[in-house]
Structure 1
């Protein structure tokens, strides 16, 4: 047990988890808990950014930021050109602030250089929005450059240093900590943030993504982020170890989640929504839900790309009907190639032309040796016979590998999600009797609430467990203190505030009323002083 200090633990418990490497353990597969739990996109995501009126800019940013600066709510900021936050400065953006990239100025974008920080922390009701400066109805993918965060973490390039592609290599475009990387590096926080119409092409076929992470360290916080209508990838990680939760890739051009250069972070809860008419030029690049490389050469350089993704809902271009016409660039739910060792679990890939492609002998070897993990996933609604894909001439038993890892293939997408094909009013939660309601497995993963527990609370027990109605929570207090007890669902949302009271040393009983809870896994969370203890509560109906 290790001591922690969580000053804001109960000030907004929907964001309780510290960003360690733990995963929330869910009973369901995919990104969303079943009803009546609300989708975590509620309140801050935007399904119609093309027609949203954001007002007009009243603050122009045309020079680099070299000292601590705050952009305030109520203003609309216009980025004119490539704006670098540098000299270890911190740019703080208040909740509700709008930032626009100027389409008329080449390559407008926001670059957070090594040592600098971007603190863009919005709220559910007041997200921070990065978007095009074009009028509603006239915005296009690639109107501006996007966000580029560069850190001091590890990557597998020469001497641990690389530069963002498409731009002149300078210290401002450099990322990686060299021969002494810092994987705990902190580039700031992005939380309740939307990025719309990014992806400027700085060179032919070298567009910047919605958000690019270059060797970003895991002290950086990434949570509740939506990228929409990017002219390249939505999210791309080049090395680093940053963790993330609650990511939305909405109707972007190329890949949704792209991992390279030894990225080793953990990502949980992600939504991918594709548009049948929006895909890359297949002569240049095919559009994948996941694309994962160790590096462009497929080398054996270390660190090897070994990121872990769990609880992803990926909705491809067919959108429930294989007779639909889709753009020529579409291919797979996941393409793992060039010696990657990625881990994808507890997810659903539906409506893609093909399911999963283990591309090349190096990745086939990684899969055989347990370095590539693709486990407890559902592949549904793809072209017949294309659940799995391997290269021509390969003898790899990919079907046996797929089946042995508890993956499922389903011909039809009917009955998997509630209302997944309505762009403007979607419901991506599991449908009644959906196969997503069960089957998640976190064996071998670091599981918890992201909270390091401490020994100041001597013991916590729960009875009966499972329960269909009430349960008694017994807490042994080691020293006189105020005790706070809540129940959270697997998404970290507070379902019930049980009690806050002063308690003396001894055993105290708290009653949890679970009669209105849906069947599933919950967590009773107890805090006293700086001590935190969690215990699982299983509700059955």
Structure 2
């Protein structure tokens, strides 16, 4: 007789047979006894605890041991294994551009029969390596979110090269080299495609709470589109004393391709930028010099810049979803024959900023929009005529389209710089179309037309300002909204006479009452506190120019890029909060 071993409740029982073989004779009997006894264990239990990763993120843990044992674990696990020594290793994992490194304790783990042994893997956010960018980038290069980048001095992306910047990448300006900036030169491209969840951020090298406007220079893109100045005109501030600067500066005039493509900026923030050590030689947060319409600009934000937040020098590039929170000069500045179209813009000013020592001074005339036909040497824009034409060899008109903008000033409680505090300044022969906007809380006035050459554009309907809502303006200037009576142009009556109707609210209507959430000016305000949607029953939820069919000039310039809306301002009633999740608010 034989008896096999049996297993019950993970315990093996071995059989011992007594009395076998048994001999049985006639009429007799024999007894065979089978006795089962628990076998000594040959296996034990190994538990590997995995901690430190966000919910839903898998670890990458490998366990190896006797008899070619090899298992991959993604989370805490317990297994029955043969006795022996086991090695536990952990590979780095990445989630949303954040790297996690695992630290292993209890390895090698010795498993003994019948016992439980534990090893642990503790994941933690890994420090990114740091790479310094300096000089010229002459070949294609990609910047990734798992590396920290430092701009030292002027960094040039040369013609023919493409700089790709992955979503979530952070680039800082060297805090020891004031004015450090990134130049995308004519013929080069930048492909910076961030996302709402992982924007690309250009910012100060200094820690939060210690940052200042002017901690670094800014982002400059030079295209090959036309503008209305002749000669070798250089980008303002590009010939300065910054480390690595070309003493001759960067020329942006002389372009000939209005459809030029300088790349893509999407979900990009520029924070604490600017450099303004000399008048008219300032670096801005975003500088777009002769950039063509083949370029894509969407979801861009400037935060606490020393000079202009966005400045266009000629060119034709279009843009949507542009935000400026706190600026040392103008929030949006166009000049020199800029003919691009922009829709959904927000400017918010609650204080007059203090720049970093040594980076220059803030402007004496900060405005919401500052729009110039042309200024400086080499201007070729003619003084009269119809700006609707595409332009001739003797000059191009400044004919930007701005639609659905929300411009909020500091109000009446702070001392305004001598020539600043105006929502929209139009001067030096500019044309352009301004529709469906909100201009509120500007201390000096809402709209100012500064000269007769600009009035000429207005008189031939090449400067149109229609279906805007103006409230809470002129608080430091006797309630003035348009240019006062007694000047030759710019009064509200002149706009009305030309069919350019705009709603001017009573003084009892405050800027804050127009929106779902407009925080009081405070250094502790965060980006999450802003909701630019119209408040319930807000007058800006209606009154917009909902069709361009009745104005062929606007329709021709708007094309399919600018959509007419029944509301005014940068946000649709009940619509998507397009500024949420990717923007920031900070003063330091």
Q: What is the aligned partner in structure 2 of residue 162 from structure 1?
A: 233
Q: What is the aligned partner in structure 2 of residue 144 from structure 1?
A: 216
SS at match of 1:366: helix
1:103-114 residue pairs with structure 2 within 5 A? 103-114=175-186
Unaligned 5+ runs, structure 2: 1-124, 240-245, 383-393, 549-553, 563-568, 577-588
Q: What is the aligned partner in structure 1 of residue 272 from structure 2?
A: 197
Q: What is the aligned partner in structure 2 of residue 233 from structure 1?
A: 308
Alpha carbons of 1:307 and 1:170: their partners in 2 closer, same or farther (altered >3 Å)? farther
SS at match of 2:264: strand
Q: Which residue of 79, 86, 97 corresponds with 2:151?
A: 79
Asked if residue 99 in structure 1 is aligned to residue 171 in structure 2, the reply is: yes
Deviation, 1:171, is 7.8
Cα distance in 2, alignment partners of residues 360 and 105 from structure 1: 40
Cα distance in 1, alignment partners of residues 414 and 555 from structure 2: 39
Cα distance in 1, alignment partners of residues 468 and 438 from structure 2: 6
Q: Which residue of 526, 540, 543 corresponds with 1:436?
A: 540
Alpha carbons of 1:400 and 1:279: their partners in 2 closer, same or farther (altered >3 Å)? farther
Alpha carbons of 1:57 and 1:307: their partners in 2 closer, same or farther (altered >3 Å)? farther
Deviation, 1:397, is 6.2
Deviation, 1:302, is 1.7
Q: What is the aligned partner in structure 2 of residue 337 from structure 1?
A: 427
1:497-536 residue pairs with structure 2 within 5 A? none
**Alignment check: 8 A CA contact 1:273 1:314 kept:** yes
Q: What is the aligned partner in structure 2 of residue 325 from structure 1?
A: 414
Q: Deviations over 1:207-247 (max 9, x none)?
A: 20001001000000000000011100000000000000000
SS at match of 1:229: strand
Q: What is the aligned partner in structure 2 of residue 388 from structure 1?
A: 482
SS at match of 2:327: coil
Deviation, 1:279, is 8.4
Q: What is the aligned partner in structure 2 of residue 10 from structure 1?
A: none
Cα distance in 2, alignment partners of residues 305 and 366 from structure 1: 10
**Alignment check: 8 A CA contact 1:152 1:215 kept:** yes
Q: Deviations over 1:448-476 (max 9, x none)?
A: 7659xxxxxxxxxxxxxxxxxxxxxxxxx
Could you tell me the TM-score, scaled by structure 2's length?
Answer: 0.63
Cα distance in 1, alignment partners of residues 178 and 154 from structure 2: 8
Q: What is the aligned partner in structure 2 of residue 217 from structure 1?
A: 292
**Alignment check: 8 A CA contact 1:163 1:170 kept:** no
Q: What is the aligned partner in structure 2 of residue 419 from structure 1?
A: 517
Cα distance in 2, alignment partners of residues 103 and 518 from structure 1: 42
**Alignment check: 8 A CA contact 1:416 1:434 kept:** yes
For the pair shown, which has the larger CA radius of gyration, 1 or 2? Answer: 2
**Alignment check: 8 A CA contact 2:533 2:571 kept:** no
Moved more, 327-336 or 271-280: 271-280
Q: What is the aligned partner in structure 2 of residue 302 from structure 1?
A: 395
1:115-514 residue pairs with structure 2 within 5 A? 115-158=187-230, 161-168=232-239, 173-178=250-255, 181-201=256-276, 203-204=278-279, 206-278=281-353, 285-297=364-376, 299-300=381-382, 302-318=395-411, 322=412, 324-329=413-418, 330-353=420-443, 354-383=445-474, 384-389=478-483, 394-396=487-489, 398-403=491-496, 404-410=499-505, 411=507, 412-413=509-510, 415-422=513-520, 423-424=525-526, 425-441=529-545, 442-443=547-548, 444-445=554-555, 450=561
Q: What is the aligned partner in structure 1 of residue 8 from structure 2?
A: none
**Alignment check: 8 A CA contact 2:183 2:219 kept:** yes
**Alignment check: 8 A CA contact 1:268 1:311 kept:** yes
Cα distance in 2, alignment partners of residues 418 and 491 from structure 1: 13
**Alignment check: 8 A CA contact 1:84 1:110 kept:** yes
**Alignment check: 8 A CA contact 1:84 1:172 kept:** no
**Alignment check: 8 A CA contact 1:269 1:311 kept:** yes
Give the aligned length: 400
Alpha carbons of 1:76 and 1:163: their partners in 2 closer, same or farther (altered >3 Å)? same
SS at match of 2:488: coil
Cα distance in 1, alignment partners of residues 127 and 366 from structure 2: 33
Deviation, 1:519, is 9.9
Deviation, 1:326, is 3.9
Could you tell me the TM-score, scaled by structure 1's length?
Answer: 0.69
Alpha carbons of 1:78 and 1:355: their partners in 2 closer, same or farther (altered >3 Å)? same
**Alignment check: 8 A CA contact 1:420 1:428 kept:** yes
**Alignment check: 8 A CA contact 1:282 1:328 kept:** no
**Alignment check: 8 A CA contact 2:449 2:490 kept:** no
Deviation, 1:172, is 6.5
Deviation, 1:162, is 2.6
**Alignment check: 8 A CA contact 1:167 1:202 kept:** no
Deviation, 1:198, is 0.4
Q: Deviations over 1:57-114 (max 9, x none)?
A: 7111123100000001111100011000003100000000000001211421100000
Unaligned 5+ runs, structure 1: 1-52, 452-489, 494-516, 521-541
Cα distance in 2, alignment partners of residues 370 and 219 from structure 1: 28
Alpha carbons of 1:437 and 1:107: their partners in 2 closer, same or farther (altered >3 Å)? same
**Alignment check: 8 A CA contact 2:179 2:214 kept:** no
SS at match of 1:241: coil
**Alignment check: 8 A CA contact 2:339 2:398 kept:** yes
SS at match of 1:206: coil
Deviation, 1:276, is 2.5
